[in-house]
């Protein structure tokens, strides 16, 4: 080989130059692309973890935080891949058009699912309710068992499991029944017209006293609601802890009925007075 190189120095130089050109043309870009790809994986993992930790510190739901972290990681990787292809001279405009067209087709095919997904993200971000809350959503009442990106799962008081699409929830009124620690208990009662109004108020006020679970603050209120067709309607309003609502409501209803019976104040049935024209009779 040395003898050949000495015999033909110009040919050896040509081979050496060709080898250098091949290295510059293919080997160096390949090594550069490999390094860029490794760096992209490292940066993508770092960016995804950073977004996830930031969401967790902001008290965003753990499921949404992980999802945003993964989305960030894939976005960084795709951008890095397009940059590497561009480095090799590959036109990336066509790839962008293909990705855009694919995204449009997927969006049209999964329009309902994407709507539920977007609503799930909004629910997890704004958190109008959380797991274990009792809510009324999309016409259904129950305790929240799970909040997913697509649907929300409820357990009803009679132990039925209901799965509600998030799109139906976010687009309608949300009633969070257990959001506050206290609730007002209202019991409506109608008494007969001959009953003395001041006496009736006193009897109802005494009926409230001593009921287990009734809070002192805010104070109970006895409210004259209306003069109805068959009765004088009153509203008895007390406050209780949210967890004691139904028990206090039952005790209050029982106490009101017993107090009116003991005071000999009647609760009338619906009635109608019929007057006949004497001339027609």
Domain membership of residue 191 (yes or no) is yes
Domain membership of residue 281 (yes or no) is no
Domain CATH for 95: 1.10.287.1260
Reply yes or no on whether the pLDDT at 258 is more than 50.
yes
Two structure tokens written together for 54: 């930031």
- Rounded Cα gap, residues 20 and 216, in angstroms: 92
Say whether both 48 and 92 belong to one domain.
Answer: yes
Listed range (35-39, 140-144, 181-185) with the worst mean pLDDT: 35-39
Tokens 């050109």 — which residue? 21
Domain membership of residue 47 (yes or no) is yes
Domain membership of residue 194 (yes or no) is yes
- Predicted structure pTM score: 0.62
Domain membership of residue 87 (yes or no) is yes
Domain CATH for 165: 2.30.30.60
Per-residue pLDDT of 53-79, as tens digits, reads: 877 776 666 767 777 788 888 888 887
Query: Which residue range forms the structural domain that includes residue 89?
Result: 11-109
What per-residue confidence (pLDDT) applies to 100?
66
- Rounded Cα gap, residues 116 and 152, in angstroms: 10
Domain CATH for 257: 3.30.70.100
Say whether both 103 and 48 belong to one domain.
Answer: yes
Confidence of residue 254 (pLDDT cuts 50, 70, 90): very high
Domain count of the chain? 3
Reply yes or no on whether the pLDDT at 18 is more than 80.
no
Domain membership of residue 18 (yes or no) is yes
Two structure tokens written together for 155: 């357990």
Confidence of residue 5 (pLDDT cuts 50, 70, 90): very low
What per-residue confidence (pLDDT) applies to 124?
83
Per-residue pLDDT of 101-110, as tens digits, reads: 666 565 555 5
Query: Could you tell me the sign of the dihedral formed by the alpha carbons of 155, 161, 167, 172, in that order?
Result: negative
Task: Single out the residue of 169, 188, 197 nearest to residue 257, CA to CA.
Answer: 188
Q: Which helix (H) or strand (E) holds 134?
A: strand 134-137
């Amino acid at each position: 080989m040395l003898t050949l190189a000495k015999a033909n120095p110009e040919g050896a130089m040509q081979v050496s130059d060709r080898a250098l050109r091949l290295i510059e043309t293919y080997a160096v870009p390949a090594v550069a692309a490999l390094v860029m790809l490794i760096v992209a994986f490292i940066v993508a993992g770092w960016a995804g973890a950073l977004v996830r930790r930031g969401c967790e510190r902001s008290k965003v739901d753990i499921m949404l935080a992980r999802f945003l972290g993964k989305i960030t990681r894939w976005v960084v990787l795709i951008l890095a891949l397009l940059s590497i292809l561009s480095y090799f001279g590959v036109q990336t405009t066509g790839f962008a058009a293909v990705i855009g067209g694919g995204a449009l087709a997927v969006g049209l095919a999964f329009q309902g699912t994407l709507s539920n997904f977007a609503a799930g993200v909004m629910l997890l971000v704004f958190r109008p309710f959380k797991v274990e809350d009792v809510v009324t959503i999309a016409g259904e009442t129950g305790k929240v068992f799970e909040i997913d990106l697509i649907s929300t799962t409820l357990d009803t008081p009679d132990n039925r499991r209901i799965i509600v699409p998030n799109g139906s929830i976010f687009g309608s009124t949300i009633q969070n029944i257990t959001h506050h620690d206290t609730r007002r208990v209202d019991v409506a009662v109608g008494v007969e017209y001959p009953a003395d109004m001041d006496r009736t108020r006193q009897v109802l006020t005494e009926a409230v006293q001593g009921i287990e679970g009734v809070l002192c603050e805010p104070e109970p209120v006895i409210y004259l609601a209306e003069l109805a067709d068959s009765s004088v309607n009153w509203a008895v309003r007390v406050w209780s802890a949210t967890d004691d609502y139904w028990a206090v409501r039952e005790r209050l209803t029982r106490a009101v009925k017993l107090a009116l019976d003991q005071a000999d104040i009647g609760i009338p049935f619906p009635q109608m007075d019929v007057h006949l024209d004497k001339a027609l009779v």
